[in-house]
């Protein structure tokens, strides 16, 4: 039982990596609410950057999650901008 209570940080996935992918996916899903989508996208990028630094120091898992989260967050930033430009072009 003692072995179960002592976590090995190398075998754990970095929590900020999980947050980054969740924020990135939510930013894409909620892009029609620009303030919410952009806020989640920026949170995903920020947690990805911080998580990447932590992974480098602690050797935890989650590098791929961070990469995917930052890509999704980037898409979450671009979608409202592109659709905003398209809306302006169509209606004006």
- Tell me, yes or no, if the pTM score tops 0.85: no
Token pair for 60: 């935890």
Q: How far is CA 7 from CA 33, 40, 59, 73, in A?
A: 40, 30, 14, 30
Indicate the number of domains in the chain.
1
Q: Domain for residue 1, yes or no?
A: no
Q: Domain for residue 54, yes or no?
A: yes
Task: Give the Cα separation of 42 and 70 in Å (integer).
Answer: 9
pLDDT tens-digit readout, 58-68: 989 999 999 99
Q: Domain for residue 63, yes or no?
A: yes
Q: Domain for residue 3, yes or no?
A: no
Q: Which residues span the domain enclosing 27? A: 10-91
**What mean pLDDT is predicted for residues 13-18?**
94
Q: Domain for residue 72, yes or no?
A: yes
Q: Domain for residue 38, yes or no?
A: yes
Q: Domain for residue 52, yes or no?
A: yes
The whole-chain average pLDDT of the chain stands at 89
Say what angle helices 34-58 and 15-29 make with each other, to 10 degrees: 160
Higher pLDDT, 6 or 66: 66
């Amino acid at each position: 039982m003692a072995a179960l209570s002592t976590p090995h940080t190398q075998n754990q996935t970095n929590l900020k990596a999980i947050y980054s992918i969740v924020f990135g996916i939510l930013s894409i899903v909620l892009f029609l609410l620009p303030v919410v989508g952009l806020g989640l996208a920026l949170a995903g990028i920020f947690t990805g950057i911080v998580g990447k630094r932590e992974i480098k120091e602690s050797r935890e898992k989650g590098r791929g999650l961070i990469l995917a989260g930052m890509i999704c967050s980037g898409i979450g930033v671009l979608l409202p901008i592109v659709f905003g430009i398209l809306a302006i072009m169509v209606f004006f």
